Structure 1
Amino acid sequence: MSSYNIALNFEDGVTRFVECKAGEKVLDAAFRAKINLPMDCSDGVCGTCKCHAESGTYDLGDDYIEDALTDDEKESGLVLTCQMVPQSDCVIAVPASSTSCKTEHSKFGATVTSIEQHKDAAVVLELDVDGPAPVFLAGQYVNIDVPGSGQHRSYSFSSTPGASKISFLIKKIPGGVMSTWLESAQPGNKVELTGPMGIFYLRAVERPLLLLAGGTGLAPFLSMLEVLVRANSQQKVHLIYGVTRDLDLVLVEAIQAYTEKLPNFTFSTVVADAESSHPRKGWVTQHMPADCLNDGDVDVYLCGPPPMVDAVRKYFDDNGVKPNSFHYEKFTPNVVPKTHEHPKV
């Protein structure tokens, strides 16, 4: 008998995965996992359990009344979890906080396996998870407790969902809590992680993608690209990777490898430093080919520091660019990422 992984994304950024057995309704699967999704009647009458299915296939049956879920709502992806029977893995946005649903972040331990230095720009941290491989959506992040500090830092997975070996691309910050610990950390050291979290993740790929990475904001896109490879995606995907200095261009070989793995993948790199000899200098907005915007029929994902996010948003506004959807994540050192979604209106 088949079962499916159902990702429940709560309003406060917490994601919990539940196993839904064949023929089982999502509300029942969540209750079995001790997650109290919003509900009242559980009979398809009140509409209290209404959520938004962001991806996956499912059956809603015909045992609910239209007052609970109209045809227009159904067409827009709204579902009643008391009636929804998944037929594949699904992602569901829950219009409630995790605490109100009596659930919380998942915690897990891991062991350092390697720490790869990339000059003074970044570190690739690889960990072996001590228990079952973590399930997450490509693009999401975790909080990593920095040993001995009593503090944590937030980093996006650069590895593939479901793998027992996980990795992170971490910006070097002189005097930073994580950077300081990494200077002396060794394979075999233990760390604790909390997550996954965040609403910045790869949605169903139904049109061309434009991926915009700023510095170590490249991390979630490495995870997304691997997911696209595994799905044998044929959509056009263009990645623009912008950095401040030449030394900040890390893992370019890893990106290059995807031009062989993905049939319609292209990428370019941009360096802001005016003294650089790089062929493309300036900002990513100055090197954004019109064809990668596909007259608006494109989904845009952006992960970078706030000035980059603001510059891209301004560029789109000033030039009348209205992508089908625009998902972006701002990050600053020592601050939990802020994620946003701007669908076309």
Structure 2
Amino acid sequence: MSYTIALNFEDGVTRFIGCKEGETVLDAAYRQKVNLPMDCSDGVCGTCKGHCEKGEFDLGDEYLDEALSDEEAAEGQVLTCQMVPSSDCIIQIPVASTLCKTAVGRLEGTVAMVESLSEDSIELAVDLDDEAALAFLPGQYIHIDVPGTDEHRSYSFSSKPGDRRATFLIRNIPEGVMSGYLTERAKVGDRLALTGPMGSFYLRDITRPVLMLAGGTGLAPFLSMLERLVQKKAEGEVNDQPIHLIYGVNKDDHLVKVDALEHFARELDNFTYATVVVDEASEHPRKGYVTHHMDAGVLHDGDIDVYLCGPPPMVDAVLRYFDEQGITPQSFYYEKFTPNQAPGGAA
């Protein structure tokens, strides 16, 4: 038996490794040429310490308290030289990937579809050469090289992990490098190079109500998360915590993938969503900004995990709203994006 271990480095790079039954994470990483920090490998120095966000494991009792205290262990801290997984795990490694001599994953694929969804949204589908070469956590992003240039742009997956066809929602920016390629030159069969996955914005275990806030093409990572939840339900893992998504756009015709949201609402009994349009001339039933539609019923007095992905003004407005309301969510994960740079920032 083998377990999949996601190693999340502090520079945003994620590397997936396989860990054999009875094997320590440190040994598995070294076997796959990922040099995790280590001085002793005997549970004495604490150099290999990380934080396990998800998964089951055994630390044994061979390590010293000076390397890992009982309090640290209770908080999910681990020593990778002693940690023997008994399930898939996600581990935060508090150093940059470059210090561990591990490269960001690189793969190639073929353009399978380019479709204009609205005046400001394009959907791109890429058939990967080898789906086994790409694993990611739902919500993460990847760099895509722009053909004919030496530039890349970064986009969150809207598809779920494990699909050979990766999909992305891309904002159509006038005179944008990627937008220009997709609207003017792209054709089915084009070759694309991708680098990643990256990012600390991804779906954690759901243990309390969840509020998802999406702005424009910031909907993409939530589609990936919801796809994964549907898959987990099909696998017999059912969660009844309420999940509510508020999806805001500037104009009526900027609303895209609503049919997908309807599908998720049918498939997941605990999922609801609301769409919001900023344009005052709109006849949409909910106008304004997402903060205008965050009522007490979805805030649960702060006993919620919040996921937020959108342009910087939206992220700043939501952060301000919580501060003004005196509400501190149990967890708050957010990602800002701008047209010409990677998504960034999670807290």
1:66 is aligned with what amino acid? D
Match of 2:124 in 1: 125
Match of 1:186 in 2: 187
**SS of structure 2 residue aligned to 1:310:** helix
**SS of structure 2 residue aligned to 1:321:** coil
Distance 1:230 1:120 in 2: 31
CA positional deviation for 1:132? 3.2
CA positional deviation for 1:231? 2.0
* Identity rate, percent: 60
Match of 1:335 in 2: 341
Match of 2:33 in 1: 34
289-298 vs 90-99, which deviates more? 289-298
CA positional deviation for 1:9? 0.5
Alignment equivalent of 2:310, drawn from 300, 304, 313: 304
CA positional deviation for 1:188? 0.5
TM-score, structure 2 normalization? 0.97
Match of 1:248 in 2: 254
Match of 2:222 in 1: 221
Q: Deviations over 1:136-172 (max 9, x none)?
A: 0000000000000111000000001011110000011
Match of 1:209 in 2: 210
Match of 1:5 in 2: 4
CA positional deviation for 1:179? 0.8
Q: Which runs of 5+ in 1 are unaligned?
A: none
213-222 vs 53-62, which deviates more? 53-62
Once superposed, which parts of structure 1, at least 4 consecutive aligned residues long, lie more than 3 Å away?
A: none
2:99 is aligned with what amino acid? S
1:125 is aligned with what amino acid? L
Distance 1:94 1:182 in 2: 36
Match of 1:18 in 2: 17
36-45 vs 229-238, which deviates more? 229-238
2:299 is aligned with what amino acid? L
Distance 1:281 1:308 in 2: 15
Aligned length: 340
Q: Deviations over 1:9-34 (max 9, x none)?
A: 00110110000011110000000111
TM-score, structure 1 normalization? 0.97
194-203 vs 231-240, which deviates more? 231-240
Q: Deviations over 1:218-239 (max 9, x none)?
A: 0000000111122223221000
115-124 vs 279-288, which deviates more? 115-124
Match of 1:167 in 2: 167
Distance 2:148 2:173 in 1: 18
**SS of structure 1 residue aligned to 2:345:** strand
8 Å contact kept, 2:118–2:256: no
Alignment equivalent of 2:279, drawn from 260, 273, 282: 273
Match of 1:320 in 2: 326
CA positional deviation for 1:289? 2.1
Distance 1:104 1:295 in 2: 43
2:283 is aligned with what amino acid? S
Distance 1:4 1:122 in 2: 37
288-297 vs 262-271, which deviates more? 288-297
Match of 1:157 in 2: 157
8 Å contact kept, 2:216–2:249: yes
Distance 2:74 2:231 in 1: 28
Distance 2:124 2:149 in 1: 18
Q: CA RMSD in A?
A: 0.8
Match of 1:230 in 2: 231
CA positional deviation for 1:331? 0.2
Match of 1:145 in 2: 145
CA positional deviation for 1:197? 0.4
**SS of structure 2 residue aligned to 1:337:** strand
CA positional deviation for 1:208? 1.1
Distance 2:273 2:156 in 1: 20
**SS of structure 1 residue aligned to 2:45:** coil
CA positional deviation for 1:204? 1.2
Q: Deviations over 1:183-204 (max 9, x none)?
A: 2211111000000000111111
Match of 1:54 in 2: 53
Match of 2:236 in 1: none
8 Å contact kept, 2:160–2:227: yes
Q: Which runs of 5+ in 2 are unaligned?
A: 234-238
**SS of structure 2 residue aligned to 1:293:** helix
**SS of structure 2 residue aligned to 1:170:** strand
1:82 aligns with 2:81: yes
Distance 2:224 2:111 in 1: 19
